[in-house]
A and B are shown apart, each in its own frame.
Chain A
Amino acid sequence: MFRKIEKRQITALGGDKQEEYQSLLLKRKLLAVEIEIHAKGQYETFAQKLPFNATKVVGIVVCSTVSDMSEPTVFGRCYFGTGPGKQSSESFIKSLDSELILSERTVIRIQPNEKEHHKDDEDEDDDDHDHDDWTYYAQPKRLGNPVIKMGGKAVESRNPATTSILDDATGIREDYYIWKSQEDNHSEIEIEIIQQVLQP
Chain B
Amino acid sequence: MKTGEIALFEKKGLFFKADVYDSQHQENQEETNLLSKIDFSEGFDFPVNLNMEVVDVEGNTGYITGAYKDAGNVREFPYRIKVWLLIEEEPVPLKDRP
Q: Which residues of chain A are within 8 angstroms of B68 by Cβ–Cβ distance?
A: 35, 37, 43-46
Main secondary structure of the interface of B (DSSP, over half): strand
Task: For B67, give its contact among A6, A44, A63 (CB under 8 Å).
Answer: A44
Query: How many B residues have CB within 8 A of the partner chain?
Result: 68
Could you say which residues of chain B place their CB within 8 Å of the CB of A31?
84-85, 87
Contact A65 B85 (CB under 8 A): no
Contacting pair B63 A64 (CB below 8 A): no
The answer to whether A66 has its CB under 8 Å from any CB of chain B is yes
Q: Decide: B63 and A30 in contact? CB cutoff 8 A.
A: no
Interface centre among A51, A63, A65 (most CB of B within 10 A): A63
B89 touches A66 (CB 8 A): no
List CB contacts (< 8 Å) of A1-28 with chain B.
1-6, 21-28
For A33, the chain B residues whose CB sits under 8 A away are 66, 82-83, 85
Contact with A along B18-46 (1 / 0, CB 8 A): 10111110110010001000101001101
Among A59, A64, A69, the residue within 8 A (CB) of B53 is A59
A113 to chain B, nearest CB (A): 38
Q: Which residues does A use to contact B, with CB under 8 Å?
A: 1-6, 21-51, 53-71
Closest chain A CB from B80 CB (angstroms) = 5
State A70–B80 Cα separation when bound (angstroms): 10
Chain A nearest CB from B85 CB (Å) reads 5
Contacts of B10 in A (CB 8 A): 57
Could you tell me the distance between the alpha carbons of A26 and B63 in the complex, rounded to whole angstroms?
21
Distance between Cα atoms of A26 and B43 in the complex (Å)? 9
- CA of A55 to CA of B88 in the docked complex: distance in angstroms? 6
* Residues of chain B within 8 A of A71, CB atoms compared: 76
Is B48 an interface residue, CB under 8 A from the partner? no
* A55→B60 contact, CB < 8 A: yes
Q: Would B83 and A47 count as touching, CB distance under 8 A?
A: no
- Cβ-defined contact, B89 with A61, below 8 A: no
A22→B16 contact, CB < 8 A:
no
* Central interface residue in A30, A45, A61, by most chain B CB within 10 Å: A61
Contact (Cβ within 8 A) B63 A32: no
Question: In the complex the two chains form, what is the Cα distance from A28 to B42 in whole Å?
Answer: 13
Q: Which residues from chain B contact A70 at a C-beta distance below 8 Å?
A: 76-77, 79
Interfacial chain B residues near A25, Cβ < 8 Å:
91-94
Residue of A nearest to B70 (CB): A42
- Given A56-B87, A60-B52, A66-B3, also A36-B72 (CB < 8 A): no
A126 and B97 CA atoms in complex are apart in Å by: 84
A64 to B78, Cβ gap below 8 A? no
| Contact residues in B for A5 (Cβ distance below 8 Å) | 94
* Residues of the B chain whose Cβ atoms lie less than 8 Å from the Cβ of A53: 89-90
